[in-house]
C-alpha cells in the first residue's frame, strides 16, 4: 500500500523498486523535504514487515 502523498510532493517524486526518490532537477523546500522523509520512512517500515 502506498501512503497518502501530499499535493506539495505530487509530480516531484517517483517510485522505484522498494523506494521513492526525488525526480532529477527538482529541489524540495524544507517543508517538502520533511514530508518526503516521512513518506520514505513509511515505505521502508512497511517493507520490513
Closest CA to 16 of 38, 37, 44, 35: 44
Q: Which pLDDT belongs to residue 17?
A: 87
**Cβ pair 22, 5 in contact under 8 A:** no
pLDDT by position in tens, the chain (length 49):
556 777 788 889 998 888 889 999 999 999 999 999 988 988 888 655 5
**3-state SS string for 1-49:** CCCCCCCCCCCCEEEECCEEEECCCCCCCHHHHHHHHHHHHHHHHHHHC
Alpha carbons 43 and 1: distance in angstroms, whole number:
9
pTM of the entire predicted model? 0.76
Amino acid at each position: 500500500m502506498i501512503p497518502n502523498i501530499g499535493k506539495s510532493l505530487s509530480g516531484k517524486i517517483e517510485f522505484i523498486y522498494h523506494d521513492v526518490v526525488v525526480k532529477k532537477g527538482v529541489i524540495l523546500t524544507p517543508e517538502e523535504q520533511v514530508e518526503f522523509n516521512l513518506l520514505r520512512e513509511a515505505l521502508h517500515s512497511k517493507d520490513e514487515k
